[in-house]
């Protein structure tokens, strides 16, 4: 690696840091972003991209249409002899990518989500299918959080609530 390459890498890292700070400042202005950011494992970039692509939940008739939009709700293509599902065409691919990344990280941050993921894998689902199943559940949670104006909460088996 040449000295010029090293300087360019340092310059790019500095620019990335500046952009991350600007992104965090913009994200603080959005209620949707603050709500989604309260979910464990959802990073700044994924949260900002997801909230930016969703815009407002008023665009959607319910949590099912939001799940369809972010790609967490496959469509059934069952027929008499064939059983399966397919990806809908009206998915926002940027939102889906951000959601898939955030949910995959979320599995490591919340033990209950890790258990849910493991259970889906034990049922024979592939990794992406299990992540989408958890993502579908998290879309319900996000919808409820926005509608009830609450942040993400972890509930312990004893019934105690921990805000994260």
- Residue 87: pLDDT band by 50, 70, 90 thresholds? low
**Entry pTM:** 0.76
At 1 the pLDDT is 63
Strand partners, 161: 155
Write out pLDDT tens, residues 108-126. Answer: 999 999 999 999 999 999 9
Model confidence at 137: pLDDT above 60: yes
The residues, ordered by sequence, that sit 6+ positions from 47 with a Cβ below 8 Å of its Cβ are 27, 33, 36, 37, 102
- Residue 138: pLDDT band by 50, 70, 90 thresholds? very high
Q: Tell me the range of 36-50, 68-82, 97-111 where mean pLDDT is highest.
A: 97-111
- Read off the pLDDT of each residue in 55-74 and give the average, rounded to a whole number: 89
110 neighbors 154 (Cβ within 8 angstroms): yes
Model confidence at 97: pLDDT above 90: yes
Model confidence at 159: pLDDT above 60: no
Distances 159 to 18, 40, 62, 107, 138 between C-alpha atoms, Å: 42, 19, 28, 21, 20
Model confidence at 82: pLDDT above 70: no
At 85 the pLDDT is 63
């Amino acid at each position: 690696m040449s000295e010029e390459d090293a300087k360019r890498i340092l310059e790019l890292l500095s620019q990335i840091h500046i952009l991350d700070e600007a992104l965090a400042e913009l994200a603080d202005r959005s209620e949707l972003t603050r709500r989604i950011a309260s979910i464990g494992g959802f990073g700044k970039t994924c949260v900002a991209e997801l909230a930016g692509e969703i815009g407002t939940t008023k665009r959607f008739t319910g949590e099912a249409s939001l799940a369809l939009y972010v790609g967490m709700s496959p469509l059934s293509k069952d027929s008499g002899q064939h059983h399966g599902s397919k990806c809908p065409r009206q998915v926002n691919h940027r939102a889906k990518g951000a959601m898939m990344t955030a949910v995959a990280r979320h599995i490591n941050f919340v033990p209950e989500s890790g258990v849910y993921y493991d259970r889906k894998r034990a049922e024979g689902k592939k990794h992406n299918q299990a992540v989408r199943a958890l993502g579908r559940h998290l879309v319900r949670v996000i919808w409820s959080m926005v509608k009830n104006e609450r942040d993400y909460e972890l509930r312990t088996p004893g019934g105690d609530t921990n805000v994260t």
